[in-house]
Amino acid sequence: AESDMVWDFIAGLCVMIQKVCVNVVHIIGDIFDRGNGPHKIMEELIDFGNVDVQWGNHDALWMGAAAGNQVSMCCVLRVGISYNTFDTLEHGYGLNLRALSMFAQDVYGDDPCERFRPKTLYENIYDEVEPDLAARMHKAVAILQFKLESQMLDRNPEWGIPERNVLHRTDFRRMVFTEDGQEHPLLDTNFPTIDPDDPSRLTPAEEELLRSIDGSFRQSETLRRHVDFLYANGGTYLRSNGNLLYHGCVPLTEDGEFDGITVDGTFYAGRDLFDYVERQMINAYYDRDDSEDHRRAVDFMWYLWVGALSPLFGKSKMATFENYFVADKAVRKEVYNHYYSLYEDPAICDKILTEFDVPTETGHIFNGHVPVKIKDGETPLKAGGKLYVIDGGISKAYQPKTGIAGYTLIFNSHHLALAEHTTFSEIENDMGSYTPKITVTEEMPRRILMRDTDAGAVLQERIADLQQLRDAYRKGLLKEERV
Q: What is the DSSP string of 436-466?
A: -EEEEEEE-SSPPPGGGSHHHHHHHHHHHHH
* Cα dihedral 194→198→200→206 (10° resolution): -50
**Burial tier of 429 (Cβ tally within 10 Å: 0-12, 13-18, 19+):** exposed
HSE toward the beta carbon, residue 23, CA cutoff 13 A: 11
Q: What is the pLDDT along the chain (483 residues), one digit of tens a residue?
A: 556 788 888 888 888 887 788 889 999 999 998 788 899 999 999 998 899 999 999 999 999 999 999 999 999 999 999 999 999 999 999 999 999 999 999 999 999 999 999 988 777 887 789 999 999 999 999 999 999 999 999 999 999 899 999 999 999 999 999 999 999 999 999 999 999 999 999 999 999 999 999 999 999 999 999 999 999 999 999 999 999 999 999 999 999 999 999 999 999 999 999 999 999 999 999 987 789 999 999 999 999 999 999 999 999 999 999 999 999 999 999 999 999 999 999 999 999 999 999 999 999 999 998 877 777 778 899 999 999 998 756 666 666 666 677 889 999 999 999 988 877 666 655 455 667 889 999 999 999 999 999 999 999 999 999 999 999 999 989 888 776
Distance from CA of residue 207 to its chain's centroid?
28
Number of H helices, E strands in the chain: 17, 16
> What is the predicted pLDDT for the residue at 430?
46
Q: What is the DSSP string of 10-75?
A: HHHHHHHHHHHH---EEE-S--SSSSS-HHHHHHHHHHH-SEEEE--HHHHHHHHHHHT-HHHHHH
Sign of the Cα pseudo-torsion (26, 32, 34, 35, in order): positive
H-type alpha helices, 326-446: 329-332, 339-342, 346-355, 399-402
Q: How far, in Å, CA of 190 to CA of 163, rounded?
A: 23
Smallest CA-to-CA distance from 445 within 418, 413, 403 is with 413
> What is the predicted pLDDT for the residue at 427?
60
Q: How far, in Å, CA of 425 to CA of 82, rounded?
A: 23
Give the length of the chain: 483
* pLDDT tens digit sequence for 427-457: 655 455 667 889 999 999 999 999 999 999 9
CB atoms within 10 A of CB 153: 24
Residues 17, 18, 21: CA angle, nearest 5 degrees: 85
φ, ψ of residue 2 in degrees (nearest 5): -75, -20
Question: Reading across the β-sheet that carries 170-171, which strands appear in turn?
Answer: 170-171, 176-179, 182-185
CB of 51 within 8 A of CB of 233? yes
Q: 70-82 and 131-155 are packed helices; what angle lies between their axes, rounded to 10 degrees? A: 150
Question: What is the value of pTM for the model shown?
Answer: 0.91
> What is the predicted pLDDT for the residue at 86?
94
φ, ψ of residue 385 in degrees (nearest 5): 95, 5
Distance from CA of residue 302 to its chain's centroid?
12
Q: How far, in Å, CA of 226 to CA of 45, rounded?
A: 10
> What is the predicted pLDDT for the residue at 393?
61
Q: How far, in Å, CA of 329 to CA of 66, rounded?
A: 34
Distance from CA of residue 209 to its chain's centroid?
26
CB of 388 within 8 A of CB of 381? yes
